[in-house]
Structure 1
Amino acid sequence: MSAQPEPALLLSEEEEALRAAVRDLLTDHCDPAGVLTRSESADPHDVPLWKSLAHAMGLAGLLIPEALGGQGATHREVAVVLEELGRAVAPVPYLTSAVVATEALLACGAEDLLAELAAATTVAVLAVGLHVAPGGAVPGVRRENGALHGELTGVADATVADVLLVPADDGGLYAVRAADATVTRQTSLDLTRPVARVSLDGAPGRRLGDTEPAVRRALRAGAGLLASEQLGLADWLLTETVRYLAERKQFNRPVGGFQALKHRLARLWLEVAGLRAAARNAADALATGADTDVAVAVAQAHAARVAVHAAEEALQLHGGIGMTWEHPVHLYLKRAKADSIAYGTAGAHREALAELVDLRAP
């Protein structure tokens, strides 16, 4: 039996160019002050930024085949985009629409909707709670007389969706136009990725395919690529904290020169480096199909702890300024905490990993 190729954890020249292009766009159009201002508004989504990403750069269709108007790229390129979006805590529905909903539609073969997503004329959202893990129980609405009835909660980015992909009790996944549903924003810790309640009262829906394989595929990709977003969060927090400690002075010397703080930063650097390897391995596994379930479980078992720890360290090491609403660290802490339960907790992924490698607890 031939050995499987080693995962490519370093970015290619094309991926580096994509990273630079996305970072330049976010630097110009997604500054921390703007994100803070939007987080206080009725709808924090940055629609102009989404249009630039999705339409002008064509990034909404990265996973969609070229025959349907997409880019025909892989999960590796998507991971590059998500890492940069994480660095900026960008309030756009990229993960939910361009990844999770797209994967569900690819599983169902819904070419018309995929073409709409590739053209950036439609935002689609899988109407499953953000906390649901791959392989977890998926609540569905009731289907009676050809119409859908019921309520689903904790659906991320539903307030900006044009199409909702709704699981029903007959085992089918249905496309429902958002105009035919009642979407009510719920209180969310993460101010940059709002969640909502979706209520259906006799809403028409078009059956796309079976719920189980489509949702499992979608949530697996979401969990695996979420690690890249968490990597971006952690990397920005580490970089900004190092920069701040190099500038901040006490006793006429930079705070970052104190030995105790050097140790904390060195430990955090090692954790972020480990997360980078796990996140890129998950993206590579999703792209190649090699040991995908294991790679995703490993990445998510590790990512939440690192991202949250990076946010906590940044908050503390920024001192008084880090505790203020005006400084963006709190946005990163809230995103990191919300991400820690998105698409399954670290504990759920550890349990899944134990089953996969046959190392169950006694």
Structure 2
Amino acid sequence: MSTPTDLLYSEEEEAVRAAVRDLLTDHCDAAGVIKRGESDAPHDLSLWKSLTEGMGLAGLLIPEEYGGQGAGHREAAVVLEELGRAVAPVPYLTSAVVATEALLACDAADLLAELAGGRRIGVLAVGLHTAPGAGHTTARIDDGALRGELTGIADAVAADVLLVPADDGGLYAVEAGAATVTPQVSLDLTRPLATVVLDGAPARRLGDAAPAVRRALRAGAGLLVSEQLGLADWTLTETVRYLKERKQFNRPVGGFQALKHRLAHLWLEVAHLRAAARNAADALAKGQDTDVAVAVAQAYAAPVAVHAAEEALQLHGGIGMTWEHPVHLYLKRAKADSIAYGTAGAHREALAALVDLQAP
């Protein structure tokens, strides 16, 4: 089991945080994210290029022999914290984590090198709502070509290559141009969903789908917690700042005892969320108690992130209800994340089975 000191941020991780935060401060302002969400191009590919080609962050989980950085899940978790704080519209979780983990399970060296360098974006064609180990829709393989319809695929509109599970138990690589990708109506416009239709798309078998998909979704669920931590921390920090400045009856609103209690309670929730997120990232990095750590973190993270965003919107008063203020971006992302890679309830059920604590 991890000790408390194992979960502290290292100097290297803090350096990664500082570099990513500086980049996002300069190139991912709230007004720009809001405007991009209203357009037909929700992803900020210029920012993605800076993160990947400029900083090499897409290759953190990829070994050096495949062209990656050879770092680990703790470093990737720090990146996701900062991306969550900015609600950055980039496919980092889906490509640099989920698709990458699936390719690592298949030892697909050529695709790993392309994803590591940021030259291509990969997406696992499994619905964003799917929990690790849960059933999911597969395509039909027919003479080396795939047919079928897959829905709820996050960031598919930005993908260059799709990783598709098939009914023969294999995981196949499909060029995105060979599929029909149709955007779906999404609550969170910074991580859009799409329907993928395959009608005889040429495919290359990479390996067995079951272990690859499970590994990918487990890593996605575990590191999603760090993104949820980032957005919860931002909403808490901004709410405290606003309540110190906003005055009513000639005194700061934040001085009212009832609001102090709400903020203190929320601070404790976010502090606990940080511990859960760090433990999940550390477990993924070490490969120890991974299933339990991820289930615990995800069972706790979603309610806290949603609560933090809801409190931010309410405590910002009238300005929080406007489209011009970014708090709605955080609430939508928190709500969407609450069902991504399994709901909190699904993870509680998984945890009960893992620790042999069944319901009466």
Deviation at 1:73, TM superposition (A): 0.4
Q: Deviations over 1:123-166 (max 9, x none)?
A: 00000000000000021011112210000000000000000000
Q: Deviations over 1:49-91 (max 9, x none)?
A: 0000011000000000111110000100000000000000000
Aligned match of 1:310: 308
Q: 1:109 aligns with which of 100, 107, 110?
A: 107
1:1-362 equivalent positions in 2, closer than 5 A: 4-6=1-3, 8-362=6-360
Consecutive unaligned residues of structure 2, counting only runs of 5 or more, are none
Query: How far apart, in 2, do the equivalents of 1:147 and 1:103 lie?
Result: 24
Asked if structure 1 preserves the Cα contact closer than 8 Å seen for 2:144 and 2:204, the reply is no
Query: How far apart, in 2, do the equivalents of 1:104 and 1:136 lie?
Result: 16
Asked if structure 1 preserves the Cα contact closer than 8 Å seen for 2:2 and 2:279, the reply is no
1:262 maps to amino acid: K
What is the SS of the residue equivalent to 1:183?
strand
Q: Deviations over 1:299-348 (max 9, x none)?
A: 00000000000000000000000000000000000000000000000000
Query: How far apart, in 2, do the equivalents of 1:291 and 1:182 lie?
Result: 40
What is the SS of the residue equivalent to 1:34?
helix
Deviation at 1:267, TM superposition (A): 0.3
1:346 maps to amino acid: A
Consecutive unaligned residues of structure 1, counting only runs of 5 or more, are none
What is the SS of the residue equivalent to 1:140?
coil
Query: How far apart, in 2, do the equivalents of 1:188 and 1:277 lie?
Result: 30
Query: How far apart, in 2, do the equivalents of 1:233 and 1:18 lie?
Result: 18
What is the SS of the residue equivalent to 1:96?
helix
1:6 maps to amino acid: T
Higher deviation after alignment, 138-147 or 223-232: 138-147
Asked if structure 1 preserves the Cα contact closer than 8 Å seen for 2:180 and 2:196, the reply is yes
Deviation at 1:5, TM superposition (A): 4.8
Deviation at 1:243, TM superposition (A): 0.3
- Number of matched residues? 359
Query: How far apart, in 1, do the equivalents of 2:143 and 2:47 lie?
Result: 41
Deviation at 1:191, TM superposition (A): 1.1
Query: How far apart, in 2, do the equivalents of 1:150 and 1:12 lie?
Result: 46
What is the CA RMSD across the aligned residues, in angstroms? 0.6
1:172 maps to amino acid: G
Query: How far apart, in 2, do the equivalents of 1:95 and 1:269 lie?
Result: 26
Query: How far apart, in 2, do the equivalents of 1:360 and 1:22 lie?
Result: 42
TM-score (norm 1): 0.98
Q: Percent identity at matched positions?
A: 82
Asked if structure 1 preserves the Cα contact closer than 8 Å seen for 2:222 and 2:281, the reply is yes
Deviation at 1:6, TM superposition (A): 2.1
What is the SS of the residue equivalent to 1:217?
helix
Query: How far apart, in 2, do the equivalents of 1:247 and 1:289 lie?
Result: 46
1:261 maps to amino acid: L
Query: How far apart, in 1, do the equivalents of 2:285 and 2:117 lie?
Result: 22
1:211 maps to amino acid: A
